[in-house]
Amino acid sequence: MIRNLEDFVMDWQHESDSTLKILEALTDESLQQRVNEDGRTLGKIAWHLVTSIDEMIGRTGLQFSATPHETPQPSTVKEMSDAYRKSRDSIVKPMKEQWTDESLLVEKDMYGEQWTIATVLQTLIQHQIHHRGQMTILMRQAGLTVPGMYGPSKDEWLAFGEEAPE
């Protein structure tokens, strides 16, 4: 629950660091991985996370500079990771300059509904978590090592020379 700007900043730092770890673990070849022929590619989901920062936070009225939602997907992981890093870093300072804790209670139109800015921020974080979960499945299918998000992953336990807990 986001009760003040500092709650968001703390959560955002951890969650966006986790998203960046996932993005940086991808390979250019893995960007074409799909769960099935009708599903999104790993690259499409990754790019969606990059551009959704602009799309979601832009609806709050915050003045900041992130990768625009309409930007075409690049072909390399490096371009995606760099764009994500820039976008995720672009929102905290403007929030602290333009908003107060009371701003979190202001309602904004989000997809035809009225959401408080606090709800938008919480949804942004949950949206990242949701798509990271999808990405880790596709990463395993592509044979990639999955980094841990909330503790060591199976791959990291094995690298420690230990069996992963069941």
Q: What is the pLDDT of residues 103-149, one digit of tens each?
A: 999 999 999 999 999 999 999 999 999 999 999 999 999 999 999 88
- Looking from the CA of 85 toward its CB, the CA atoms found within 13 Å total 11
pLDDT at residue 1, as a whole number: 86
User: Which tens digit of pLDDT belongs to each residue from 4-24?
Assistant: 999 999 999 999 999 999 999
In 3D, which of 102, 148, 89 has the Cα closest to residue 5?
102
Q: 54-88 b/e with 16+ CB inside 10 Å = b?
A: bebbeebebebebbeeeeebbeebeebbebbbebb
